[in-house]
Structure 1
């Protein structure tokens, strides 16, 4: 009897051990699956010039957290990386998304006035990009800005709108921050700022920055 009881206890222990092994294996499979679906990698990000015959419009927005003051800036570049003009906008107070949108709007208006008819608009804000692509949405808090984009994008010209990482938008970021030093309103200029030149060279030289990105499979 004692031997029989001992064998039963041993069998139960082995069964429990197998259950633990199977459970652990199941958990490992789940972890592996989750990791594969959200796999990440480090990428080198650098500025990419537009195609020949196109003008690249890079814009960015900026908001000072402590004051709520907003600004935006942007520049126009050809396929050689040459700056064909720039602008800054002191916007008063607004959200960062509104600043991104208003900066892009001002850039498109200036581009149209200057006769550019093939524009590649680059932004590093996915939120602003989505609003622009929706064109019109009366229920959205930025609906009035979306309508202005709809009007501009329907003019007789070619405009593409793309997202770029911030690491590839350094020149526009510099201008957006510099815009806080200007009076309220939009200030376009033909001669690029001396301090901006270093960012132009930085991009043309192909200097890249590491960025960790995740990809959901």
Structure 2
């Protein structure tokens, strides 16, 4: 409806301001040992399957993202969490999107996570998502021909920063991000950031650590 469209426009403007801020404040000196960009015009991500051990530079973090849809109202939410290489919690977040398709919700979770971590000075990240369509779109550089705004924004940040890897994970290994996305089913329209681990995610967090789901 009109309200959802107005909320989405407001979120778009807020994200644009945050992206400009990130672009101005997070310039990278030199190139990373692991890059997703061959040059300014092409984005080529290294895709790693779940269960494959990947050794990252010490200052890199892991971003687990997800999107959720309220079956009753059709409202969508994005969420995710950052953790370090010791599997320790950095922060979690979620955001109300109004109404959009699941594909866009998943990408919005990635976009918000990227903006948050860059604003906090993290310049290298492995992105974990349980959506193969998202992985394929990013890997095949399909964003160039896309008319979906959130796709273009994700690509723009990846082109600028050049320090991203993406990994597909099964849904069962992405439960913490799923819980975080669903924490906002009340429809709060502002970005929620959790510096402490929300109680409802503790069981899933401990289970993931126990089975080495984040390796």
TM-score normalised over the length of structure 2: 0.68
The residue number in structure 2 matching 1:148 is 153
Is residue 2:107 matched to residue 1:104?
no
* SS of residue paired to 1:155: helix
Aligned match for 1:197, one of 181, 199, 202 = 202
* SS of residue paired to 1:59: strand
- Contact preservation (8 Å) 1:129, 1:161: yes
The residue number in structure 1 matching 2:185 is 180
1:181 shift after superposition: 2.4
1:53 shift after superposition: 3.5
1:156 shift after superposition: 3.3
The residue number in structure 1 matching 2:166 is 161
Closer, same or farther: CA 71–199 of 1 in aligned 2, 3 Å: same
Is residue 2:73 matched to residue 1:63?
no
Which structure has more strand as a fraction of its residues? 1
The residue number in structure 1 matching 2:78 is 72
Provide the rounded CA distance (Å) in 1 between the counterparts of 2:138 and 2:191.
Answer: 20
Provide the rounded CA distance (Å) in 2 between the counterparts of 1:54 and 1:167.
Answer: 24
- Contact preservation (8 Å) 1:60, 1:72: yes
Q: Larger Cα Rg: Structure 1 or Structure 2? A: 1
Provide the rounded CA distance (Å) in 2 between the counterparts of 1:197 and 1:107.
Answer: 20
The residue number in structure 2 matching 1:129 is 135
**Stretches of structure 2 lacking an aligned partner (at least 5 in a row):** 1-49
- Contact preservation (8 Å) 1:50, 1:56: no
Provide the rounded CA distance (Å) in 2 between the counterparts of 1:47 and 1:82.
Answer: 20
* SS of residue paired to 1:136: helix
Closer, same or farther: CA 157–137 of 1 in aligned 2, 3 Å: closer
1:145-177 deviation digits (Å, cap 9, x = unpaired)? 221112110223511112111111110011111
Aligned residues: 162
